[in-house]
Structure 1
Amino acid sequence: MIKNWFKNIGPGPLVAAAFIGPGTVTLCTIAGVHFGFALLWAMVLSIIATVTLQEMSARLCIITQKGLSEVIRTEIKNPIFRKIIIILVLSAIVIGNAAYEAGNISGSVLGLETVMKNHSLEIGSLRLNVFSLVIGLVGFLLLYVGNYKLLEKVLIALVTVMSIAFLITAILTKPDLSEIIKGIFIPKTPKGSLLTIVGLIGTTVVPYNLFLHASLVKEKWGRQSDLKYARKDTVIAVVLGGLVSMCIIISAAAIQHQEVNSAADLALGLEPLFGSYAKYFLAIGLFAAGITSTITAALAAAYVATGCLGWKTELKSAKFRAVWMFILFLGVLLSSLGIKPIEIIKFAQAANGMLLPVIAGFLLWIMNKKSVLGDFKNTKIQNGVGLIILAVTIFLGLKSIFKVFELI
């Protein structure tokens, strides 16, 4: 039975790997430090929303055998509207992922630097971070091999390591279970917590994951009868990914009286609880979170660009490789030079803020088309949950846009 379960593991863990990046780790840390267990309910809401949207994306791909960007290109008949959507998607995903890639690589570097001395390579007047180059090379080799099964196994292993590291960290803090249960089931919005709540949901319900999941499902399954495996894979992976995020919040809540602004500081705060081993747990978790997000961000950008532009979406095709190489190169460059691409990230946040409700709305629309999905179209319950999520994504989108332009 266990052997069959492992055989039917699909791209779900890769989706979990994609949304648990260094940004998520840091945000969850800050949420726990400043608000204790009070915002755990926001992660539960995020998990429900992510499972719902990712299931729709996977179902669409299995039934149509097309990626989400390919469906957008073929099903939106109005040429002007189609071009607008494609430009928005390409801008948000490709340019945005190039900016976020720097953060992912920097997060992995942060994990390594927690336990190892920093090394730099000087080329003329340039000083490059050696760890950034090494992480970029690892990502390059894994992606260049173009073997989906190998990539899947490596990422699942990293996600498992990351999950265990953060789970152990949470357990060793000896949290109050009754307070955790209250935080999960009793929604609270402490003073100053609104933007953190928006951030927790926004960092879990990720637009590019919908594209990545749909494309990877096609690599794994090709028959309608496989839908049950895809659903189980999605639910288990996203729930476990959400639990990892909750473990980080729980860990951080144990040191809420200390000034902690990043995940690296979390290791220092936890030392009184379990000594010098704290930094190793955190270093492993942060490194795994960074490198998995590095790979999946580049991969997602390649699937989106090739699907939108009508190119071959094969791991070994030249154009597919060119896209992820571009994303990875920019990430390594920005990370190793220590450049903070603030303006690009602001643009990415604004574009993603607009993209999430657009994609959620498109998914709901397409998932109700009998001509596309036949008997596999949405049920009334699925539509009801989907509409609630759409309303939340519109709220999140407006919040993120207002935040970027400093209107709130």
Structure 2
Amino acid sequence: MGLVFQLLSARLGTVTGQHLAQLIRQSYTKKMSVALWAFAQLAIIGADIMEIIGTAIALHILLRLPLWVGVLITTVDTFTFMMIQRYGMRKMEAFFMMLILVMTTCFWVEMVVSKPDVPQIFSGLIAPVVPKNAVVQAVGMLGAVVMPHNMFLHSALVGSRDLGPEPTVRKRREANFYFGVESGLALFLSFLVNLAIVVVFAQVFYKPDAPENVELPGLADADAVLKRTLGSAAQYLWGAGLLAAGQSSTMTGTFAGQYVTEGFFGNIFRKDWHRVAVTRGISLVPSMLVAIFAVDHFDNMGELLNVLQSVCLPPVLIPILKLCASTAVMSTEFTTSTLMHIICCLLTCVVIGFNVFLFITHITSAWSFALISIFGFFYLAFIAYLAWLPLDYVPKSNSDDDGWMAIPENSDDEEISLRQEP
């Protein structure tokens, strides 16, 4: 599901030369655009909370820093990434790949040390079975894997590839193919990381004959259990992998927040640091407040944040479907086929069905029933209205500066572009 919609997002950026947030702003009314921006921003805030706390826990494991100190240190990450960005997208990609390599290595070493039953792993991949007491967690994992803000980011990052002033259909098809290969490899690495984490935690924490109400270790005390079970080095491998995961997530959240805000509201910032301060402040301030005051309840909060990601997903997927099927937005060569459109609609319906299931499972009292019923009614009504509402696409004029954040491919590109200005 993540691969399909990331490919559609990349196709939007390649064919139109604009990213998803810009296209939504040009295709919907201001009120609807603000509503869709709110869903995207909520998803970014939810992701920021998880990555901030994850980084803080990693710093606590590696350096024994208090959690609140680790939370404050994560604010420096944004400015670090912006400094790397000034040297070009290729440097950013190299740094990002280094983080992924560290993360993958740490978690896979732990998986090998835990000595899992390899035939059972392949058996579970071919025919997975979800325990009855883990259905909610399994459904909630959708929001942890397919994140809404990644759709906005993916449609924007393809703009860093220079296809020429007027690329031909063949050139665009070639670009879409390589973007597809790139997305497939990235998601495969993500799969390997998630596989290693699930296997390690299953080996160390899960007991098939344990009572359903047994309290499992959380993210903060997982290192102690890993140390006791797999050796003293395991906790540092876990901390290093968690730190790399938090940093890579912070990087995607940083850039996604900028593209989302400028795409929906246009070029409203005079200087780069204004953009960074405002776009990250919108996400980081509430994220840090929640992280500081609710860090002791992170495991319960993490489950709710994954649900939040899943709830915010349909308001992103539906515009992608409508934009990719519109001949006014896309050329006829790149609009989605009828079969692909039906498949994507079915996948979107699956996400909505999962959200309804999550709503129902969180009803535990009369008060929660009333609250979730009211919220669920307005949420489903909004989704239905968004699916029914036709696009009103207005192409961007040449004089309309919409704040496209063009990232140079390398440090020399920016200098060349400055020399060419009159």
TM-score tier after normalising by the smaller chain length: 0.7 to 0.9
For 1:158-197, what aligned pairs fall within 5 Å after superposition?
A: 158-197=99-138
Structure 2 residue 339 is matched with structure 1 residue 392:
no
Give me the whole-angstrom Cα distance separating, in 2, the residues matched to 1:67 and 1:197. 31
Partner amino acid, structure 2, of 1:107: G
The partner residue of 2:225 within 269, 283, 286 is 269
> Secondary structure, in 3 states, of the residue corresponding to 2:329?
helix
- Structure 1 residues 271-300: Cα deviation after superposition (integer angstroms, max 9, x where no partner): 355311110110011111112222322321
- Residue 358 of structure 1, aligned match among 309, 315, 319: 315
2:97 corresponds to 1:156:
yes
Q: Distance in 2 between matches of 1:202 and 1:179?
A: 26
Cα distance in 2 for partners of 1:312, 1:216 equals 21
**Are the equivalent residues in 2 in contact too, given 1:101–1:328 (CA < 8 A)?**
yes
- 2:108/2:193 contact within 8 Å kept: yes
Report the TM-score, using the length of structure 2 for normalisation: 0.73
Secondary structure of the equivalent of 1:305?
A: helix
CA contact (8 A) 1:61 1:67 kept: yes
| Match among 40, 44, 53 for residue 106 of structure 1 | 53
Cα RMSD, aligned residues only: 3.2
On the 8 A contact 2:142/2:306 being kept in 1, the answer is: no
Judged with a 3 Å threshold, the aligned counterparts in structure 2 of structure 1 residues 370 and 156 are, in CA distance, closer, same or farther, namely same
Paired position in structure 2 for 1:83: 31
Alpha-carbon distance in 1 for matches of 2:159, 2:357? 34
TM-score (norm 1): 0.75
Distance 2:296 2:34 in 1: 25
* Percent of residue pairs identical: 23
- Which stretch of the first structure deviates more once superposed, 274-283 or 259-268? 259-268
CA shift at 1:71, angstroms? 0.8
Q: 1:391 to 1:102 in 2, by over 3 A?
A: closer
Check if 1:93 corresponds to 2:40.
yes
* Gap change, CA 1:58 and 1:92, over 3 Å in 2: same
**Alignment partner of 1:110: what SS?**
helix
Q: Does the aligned pair in 1 maintain the 2:141–2:306 contact within 8 Å?
A: no
Distance 1:201 1:354, change over 3 A: closer
TM-superposition CA deviations, 1:268-327 (whole Å, max 9, x none)? 333355311110110011111112222322321221111111227999373355212443
Query: How far did residue 115 of structure 1 move?
Result: 2.9
Q: Give matches, 1:4-403, under 5 Å.
A: 49-76=1-28, 79=29, 83-84=31-32, 86-119=33-66, 129-143=68-82, 146-147=85-86, 148-222=89-163, 224=172, 225-255=174-204, 256-257=206-207, 260-271=216-227, 274-311=230-267, 316=272, 318-319=274-275, 321-332=277-288, 334-336=290-292, 352-374=309-331, 375-402=333-360
Please identify, of 387-396 and 329-338, the stretch whose mean Cα deviation from structure 2 is larger: 329-338
The one-character-per-residue Cα deviations of 1:95-123 (angstroms, maximum 9, x if unpaired) are 44335423311211111212322258xxx
Partners of 2:66 and 2:294 lie apart in 1 by 13
**Structure 2 vs 1, CA of residues 369 and 329 (structure 1 numbering), >3 Å: closer, same or farther?**
same
Alpha-carbon distance in 2 for matches of 1:214, 1:249: 30
Q: Which runs of 5+ in 2 are unaligned?
A: 373-422
Q: Which amino acid aligns with 1:67?
A: H
* Counterpart secondary structure, 2:263: helix
CA contact (8 A) 2:62 2:236 kept: yes
Structure 1 gap ranges (5+): 1-48, 121-128
Distance 2:304 2:242 in 1: 26
SS of the equivalent of 1:192 reads helix
Which amino acid is the alignment partner of residue 252 of structure 2? T
Distance 1:69 1:340 in 2: 35
What's the CA shift for 1:52? 0.5
Q: Aligned residue pairs: how many?
A: 347
**Cα distance in 1 between the residues matched to 2:230 and 2:177:** 42
Q: Which stretch of the first structure deviates more once superposed, 214-223 or 176-185?
A: 214-223
Preserved CA contact (<8 Å) 1:101 1:331: yes
Alpha carbons 2:37, 2:260 under 8 Å: kept: yes
Cα contact 1:100–1:345 (8 A) shared by 2: no
Per mean C-alpha deviation after superposition, the further-off stretch among 177-186 and 244-253 is 177-186
Distance 1:83 1:372, change over 3 A: same
CA distance in 1, matches of 2:180, 2:157: 14
Q: Distance in 2 between matches of 1:200 and 1:384?
A: 24
Tell me, what secondary structure is at the counterpart of 1:367?
helix
- Could you tell me whether the CA contact under 8 Å between 2:16 and 2:329 is conserved in 1? yes
Q: Work out the CA distance in 2 between the residues paired with 1:277 and 1:131.
A: 21
Shift of 1:378: 1.6
CA distance in 1 between counterparts of 2:260 and 2:362 reads 24
Shift in CA distance, 346/310, structure 1 to aligned 2, threshold 3 Å:
farther
For the 8 Å contact 2:55–2:242, the answer to whether it is kept is yes
Amino acid at match of 2:179: A
Contact preservation (8 Å) 1:162, 1:286: yes
Question: SS of the counterpart of 1:263?
Answer: coil
Which whole-Å CA distance do the structure 1 matches of 2:316 and 2:53 have between them? 29
1:364 counterpart SS class: helix
Tell whether the 8 Å contact from 2:50 to 2:302 is kept in structure 1 after alignment.
no
